[in-house]
Chains A and B, each alone.
Chain A
C-alpha cells in the first residue's frame, strides 16, 4: 500500500513536470484577403521549421471580413487587398499598422481566334470597359497593334461579380489613367460597372477566367497566377514610361520599387513610373495593432512578420507574387520594431 502510494505520487509529479516543460504551441489567428491566401499557406508551412512553438490559423473570408474581425478583435491579424480608409481606421479600438507582404499583378486576359499577342493601354481599356469601344477591330485597338489582324468581333467585357481586391487594383488603375472613368465609376472593391451591351460578371478570378475562355471576343482581368495556370493569353500594357510591359513577378517588383510609399505604407502602386514597371499591380497588407494586448503571441506574430517580409519573400516568385524590394523590406522591419506589447 505504501509502495503503491509512492509510485503513484512519483508518477503524478513526473506528469506535472512534463506538463510544465511541454508548453502547448501558441495559436495565432488571422483572417482576410483571398489574394494572399496561397502565400500564407506556404509561409505557415515553412515557418514551422523556424519556430515550431507557434501555430497559425488563417481564414480567407475576404478583405472586408478581415477588417471587420480585426476591428472587433476576434483575430490577431487581418489581411486586406486595399488599404483601410481613414474612417475604418478611426473605428478601430487602437492604431492599426499596414504591413505590405505580397505584391501581385493583374493580367488582362482575352479570347480571340488565333491567340494574337495584344498591346493595350489605359485609355483603351477604360474605353472598352466604359462601353465606348465595342468591337475588336476598333481603330484605337488597331493603332496599338500594327500588323495584327483583329476580327470584326464584339467585345464582351467580363468583370468580378463579387467584391475583390483584384477589382480594386484594376479600377484604381483605370481611375489613375483615365479621368472619364474616375468621374463616372471610380475605384473600389465593388463598383457600378458600366452596362455595356456585352458585359458579364463572374464570381472569383477563376470565374472570370472561365468566362473569358468560353466567350469568343471576351476580355477580362484576373490575378496573374490564374492566367498562367489556365494558360490564357494576356496583353502587354503600356506603363507610365511609355513601354509595353508584360505582367510577371519582376515587372511587378519594379513597380513596387519605384512606387511612392509613404511612412504608413498605405499606398497605391498602379501606373508606377519605372521603365520596366507593370502598371496594373497592387500590394496586399497584413493589418496588426500597434499595441499588442497579448505579449507572448504578439511577439511571436511580429517575429513571423519579420521573417515573412525578409526570408519569406524568397518563396513568393514560385507562387507568382512579386518579392518586396530590399529598401521596402528595411522600412517594414523598422515599422515592425515600433510595435509595443
Chain B
C-alpha cells in the first residue's frame, strides 16, 4: 500500500474535505475552490436570519424598558403590588391587571387541560384509525379562528348564554363558595376564562398528541403483558410516562393565554378590580394596554402602560422558555432522546 505511491497522492478516504475535489467516483463532478466561500457565506447568512428573531425580541424588550423608565423611577417595585389606577391624579398600580391576567388564565387552564388531555388520549389510544385525521383537522381549525371573531361570538352568543343559563346554575349549586357569589351582568372574568380555554385547547391537544405518540410502544406492550386493562395501560404506561411532556404542553397553552388580547377585552368587562367573585368584571394587562394606550397623554401614563407591557413580555417569555425546556428534556426513563 505504501510502495509505489506517487508523491502527493492521498487515498480518497483520507483526503480532507475542504480541499478541492477533482473528481469523485463517477468522474463527472468538478468542484473548484469557489465553493468553499459559498458554503461559508450560506452558513453566515442563515445564522444572521436565525439571530434576527432573537435580536427582534431583545429590541422589543429594550424599547419597553426604555419607555417605562419614568414609571419605574416614580413607583419602583410598588407598581406591581399597588391596587390603584388613576390617570387623572397620575397614580398607577398594576396589581388588578396582574390579578385579572392570572385568574383568567387559571380558569382557562382548569377548563382546557382536562378536555385537551382527554382528547389527546382519545386521538392516540382509542379512536379508530379512519377518525384520527379528520378529528385532528377539526381541532386545528379551532386554532385558525381569529381572536376578534371569537370575541364577537363571545359578546353576542356566549356572554348572554352565560348570564342567562350558566351563572344561575353555578350560583344555585356552588353558591356557598365566595367564587360563585355576587351579581353578574354579562361580561365577567369567567367569560374571559371560557374564551381563553377555547383558544388554548388546540395548542395543548396537538402538543400532547405528539407527546403521547412518542411514547414507545414497548411501554404499552409491557403493561399489557402484565395484565393491565385498557385504562390502566393508558394511565400507567402512557400518561405517567408522558407527564413531563404534557406538563410542558400545558405551560405552552398558559403562555398563549397570558398574552391574548382582543377576545378577552371584548368579554371581560374592563373594570380594574380585585374581587373574590368569578361573576364580576375584571381587566387584564393585555386588555388595559389595548384599551388605553391610544389616548394616553403625558409622560407617566404611557410609561405605566409600557411597564405593564414589559411585565407581560417578561412573564410570557419566561413561561414559554420553561415550557420549551420541559418539552425538550422530555425523554422518560430508559429511552435515548431521538435527536
Contacts and interface: CB of A to CB of B under 8 A. Distances in A.
Contacts of A164: 295
Given A192-B85, A195-B273, A199-B271, A163 B292 contact: yes
A210 interface: yes
Main secondary structure of the interface of B (DSSP, over half): loop
A88 interface: yes
B29 to A, nearest CB: 52
Contact of B186 (A63, A193, A200): A200
A198 B183 contact: yes
Nearest to B84: A192
A200 B270 contact: yes
Nearest to A164: B295
A334 interface: no
A187 B86 CA distance: 11
A214 B283 CA distance: 20
B294 A187 contact: no
Chain A: number of interface residues, binned into ranges: 35 or more
A337 interface: no
A282 to B, nearest CB: 15
B294 A64 contact: yes
Interface of A is mostly: loop
B281 interface: yes
A193 B273 CA distance: 11
A162 B291 contact: yes
B216 interface: no
Q: A-B pairs with the 8 shortest C-beta distances? A: A163-B295, A161-B270, A201-B270, A62-B294, A192-B86, A186-B88, A64-B295, A64-B297
Interface string A194-217: 010111111100000011001100
Interface string B81-96: 0001111110000000
Contacts of A188: 87-88
A156 interface: yes
Interface string B258-287: 000000011001110100000001010001
Interface of B: 84-89, 155, 159-160, 183, 185-187, 265-266, 269-271, 273, 281, 283, 287, 290-292, 294-298, 301
Contact of B183 (A154, A162, A201): A154
A200 B187 contact: yes
A61 interface: yes
A190 interface: yes
Contacts, number: 93
B297 A189 contact: yes
B291 A161 contact: yes
A185 interface: yes
Most chain A CB within 10 A, of B88, B155, B281, B301, is at: B88
A189 B294 CA distance: 11
Interface string A52-72: 000000000111110110000
A328 B96 CA distance: 46
A65 B294 contact: yes
* Most interface-central of B160, B265, B297 (chain A CB within 10 A): B297
Contact of A189 (B186, B187, B295): B295
A191 interface: yes
B291 A61 contact: no
A26 B296 CA distance: 31
A113 B271 CA distance: 26
B295 A201 contact: no
Contacts of A210: 155
A34 B87 CA distance: 20
Given A192-B87, A215-B185, A203 B295 contact: no
Contact of B291 (A65, A154, A199, A203): A203
A206 B151 CA distance: 15
A68 B298 CA distance: 9
Contact of B270 (A61, A156, A187, A203): A203
6 contacts: A64-B296, A65-B294, A88-B298, A197-B183, A198-B183, A203-B265
